[in-house]
Structure 1
Amino acid sequence: MTDTDMHALVTGATGFTGGHLARALRRQGHQVRALVRQTDSPAARGLADAGIELVRGDVSDADDIDRAVAGTTHVFHIAAVYRSANHPDSYYMAVNRDSVAHVLASAERHGIERVVHCSTCGVHGDVADLPATEETAFRPGDIYQRSKLAGETLAQRAIAAGAPVSIVRPTGIYGPGDLRFLKLFRGIQNRTFRMVGAGDIAYHMSYIDDLVQGFLLCGSHPGALGETFLIGSDDYTTLNGLVQEIAATLGVQPPRGHIPVAPVMAAASLCETLCRPLGIDPPLHRRRVSFFTKARAFSVDKAKRLIGFEPQVGLAEGLARTADWYRAEGHLRGAPTGIAA
């Protein structure tokens, strides 16, 4: 295959990870198609401006998936519903499990050369023996993780049946364009953040450019066929270490003080009970509190060994790039420092 004859479908391209991946594929000269729910949304228009073909549809609809897959050579299935507490469990399963079945069926029907499925390191849950590897036991702890494991299980079955599938389990994704860590940055800058629990729990980040590198390798490297890879930074840290690095990036003193886990978890449970019947996302929920309680640290040695994956962006540099983007977008105080993205 030459550098220009891949025709790739990316699901979830209006999101953070899928958007970066779709643009990276386009910069490499590939034809890129994105399945989007609304072709007139700002995110979709940005994809179109980057030369990416838009196909309207929903990943939970088998017919929409089939229309999007037809005529492509590669499928990168990135779309997922993440940690929102205002969706029923059935919605998580429809998006994170059933869409995988639709993608795999269409890929077989249309003779797709490679399917790259995005799972999550969260299928391993709270890791006991650090660092975890791809062989570490599954311990999903919430509906997001259970639904992602259900989707990955379908992909693993397809691999066992001979389908050309690769699976990626990203660690905690961050970088310019991501808003999931903005609340943490703001809390540290405003000195309102307090650690829940001791903060010595392990945490593993994945800078977006490194993660995209992993996806691209899984879509092209012969050694990726039929394999599952944890993809993330070279090293992991602790939540205390992450907070200290962010504080250093922002030029503020690290926050002090810790809040016991139990009352916060109780408050989160109460918020869910009150908000769920109203169909609104509670300001605090148990899956968010679990960020402070579950150990996540992984080895990326398999990806290095089999497909040549090499993380390029260390934590300090990645956080600085992210903070610069937050400042440029008006999300944080202060002027950007000029670190290149």
Structure 2
Amino acid sequence: MTSTNKTVVVVGATGLQGRTVTRHLLRDGWRVRALTRDPDGAQAQALARAGAQVVRAQMEDLDSLTAAAEGAWGLFSVQPTVGSPGTAPDFTTEDEVRWGVNVAEAAHAAGVGHLVFTSVAGADRHLSEKVPVNLASKWRIEQHIAELGLPATILRPASFMENFTGGYALRNGTLSTGIAPDTAQQLMAVDDVGAVTASAFGQPEEWIGRAVSLAADELTPVQVAEAIGTALGIPLPYVQIPIEAIRGLSEDFAYANQWLNERGYRADIAATRRIHPAAMDFRTWLERTGAAQISAFLDSARTAGQDA
């Protein structure tokens, strides 16, 4: 099946995943209908200049989603999790699930031919073990997609390499997370998720009905810090944030870190490379885009008078 004269709706188009998926789809010759709550925003305007049709729609508004999906062949769905950049302070897990359900319902009502939903690695273990709430919420959305009988592909990436490009992990001259120094964490570049998504839309006969976990590298936080320090030519020690300190802020976030330390994503890296042989390992990602992003963040933090 060719992509000629095909339209794909990208939900959350101005977000990190949405922008990447839009770029890959446009590169592959798709017509992209980019959904955003703010068509006049800088990110939306950048998508318009790249060739996307920018359309106003909100994931909390089912009618706007359904109208935006009418006549489209495919739809890409991703929802933010609690604490994601740009979400309201009172955004909850129930909001996330409701938004994901709304997108699925809109795809069903509009009769789209292929839905691609990005979940998270490990979500499918929800029935056999206690998983963090951010995995359980994705599983609930996955289940609703299945209940509707949608022609769908589920992608379950591990932690994004991009998580190391800002204040989430870089603070006070260190790399700091709740992961134990000797615990390997699986990683995936967002750009590679965009590439796999475009491949799925381009080969629906191979992808509809599949659910795959994605990870391209596996490093301890000490190795991550060393790789970043080498790429930037700076010392960057790793400091683990005690789980109890995290628990003081959020029980759910504390359990998520505990789960990563004790269980982890368990994606098949070799299988990911069979799907997408060009998937970047962490050092390649640093060379191509990561080091520049981290350097820009550190420069911005210094300019703002922070010791990041």
| 8 Å CA contact 1:100, 1:155 repeated in 2 | no
Within 1, Cα distance between the matches of 2:128 and 2:229? 34
- State the partner residue of 2:71: 71
| 8 Å CA contact 1:170, 1:232 repeated in 2 | yes
| 8 Å CA contact 2:170, 2:176 repeated in 1 | no
> 1:266 Cα shift?
4.5
- State the partner residue of 1:323: 291
- State the partner residue of 1:296: 265
| Residue number among 211, 222, 227 corresponding to 1:228 in the alignment | 211
| 8 Å CA contact 1:119, 1:148 repeated in 2 | yes
The amino acid that maps onto 2:246 is M
User: How many percent of aligned residue pairs carry the same amino acid?
Assistant: 23
Within 1, Cα distance between the matches of 2:179 and 2:186? 18
- State the partner residue of 1:148: 138
> 1:79 Cα shift?
3.1
- State the partner residue of 1:202: 184
Q: Does 1:46 align with 2:29?
A: no
* 1:109–1:124 CA distance, 2 compared to 1 (3 A): closer
Within 1, Cα distance between the matches of 2:41 and 2:51? 16
> 1:226 Cα shift?
0.7
Q: Does 1:213 align with 2:195?
A: yes
SS at match of 1:183: coil
* 1:265–1:33 CA distance, 2 compared to 1 (3 A): same
* 1:157–1:327 CA distance, 2 compared to 1 (3 A): same
Q: Does 1:244 align with 2:212?
A: no
* 1:118–1:196 CA distance, 2 compared to 1 (3 A): closer
SS at match of 1:298: coil
> 1:54 Cα shift?
1.4
Within 1, Cα distance between the matches of 2:239 and 2:103? 47
- State the partner residue of 2:253: 287
> 1:2 Cα shift?
2.5
| Residue number among 140, 154, 158 corresponding to 1:171 in the alignment | 158
SS at match of 1:80: coil
The amino acid that maps onto 2:136 is R
- State the partner residue of 2:280: 313
Within 1, Cα distance between the matches of 2:283 and 2:11? 30
> 1:259 Cα shift?
5.3
Unaligned runs of 5+ in 1: 126-134, 270-284, 334-341
The count of residues paired between Structure 1 and Structure 2 equals 295
Within 2, Cα distance between the matches of 1:236 and 1:76? 27
Within 2, Cα distance between the matches of 1:249 and 1:204? 20
> 1:38 Cα shift?
1.0
* 1:93–1:256 CA distance, 2 compared to 1 (3 A): closer
- State the partner residue of 1:99: 99
* 1:101–1:193 CA distance, 2 compared to 1 (3 A): closer
- State the partner residue of 1:338: none
* 1:201–1:328 CA distance, 2 compared to 1 (3 A): closer
| 8 Å CA contact 2:36, 2:55 repeated in 1 | yes
Within 2, Cα distance between the matches of 1:174 and 1:251? 19
| 8 Å CA contact 2:34, 2:52 repeated in 1 | yes
Within 2, Cα distance between the matches of 1:183 and 1:98? 28
Within 1, Cα distance between the matches of 2:105 and 2:248? 43
> 1:8 Cα shift?
0.5
> 1:289 Cα shift?
8.0
- State the partner residue of 1:268: 249
| 8 Å CA contact 2:132, 2:256 repeated in 1 | no
SS at match of 1:32: strand
| 8 Å CA contact 1:202, 1:296 repeated in 2 | no
Within 1, Cα distance between the matches of 2:248 and 2:40? 39
Q: TM-score, normalised by structure 1?
A: 0.75
The amino acid that maps onto 1:228 is A
| 8 Å CA contact 2:215, 2:272 repeated in 1 | no
Tell me which moved more, 201-210 or 5-14. Answer: 201-210
Render the CA deviation track for 1:198-220: whole Å, top value 9, x for unaligned.
Answer: 42222111112221121112223
The amino acid that maps onto 2:253 is R
> 1:15 Cα shift?
0.4
* 1:194–1:83 CA distance, 2 compared to 1 (3 A): closer
SS at match of 2:99: helix
> 1:191 Cα shift?
2.8
* 1:121–1:224 CA distance, 2 compared to 1 (3 A): same
SS at match of 1:218: helix
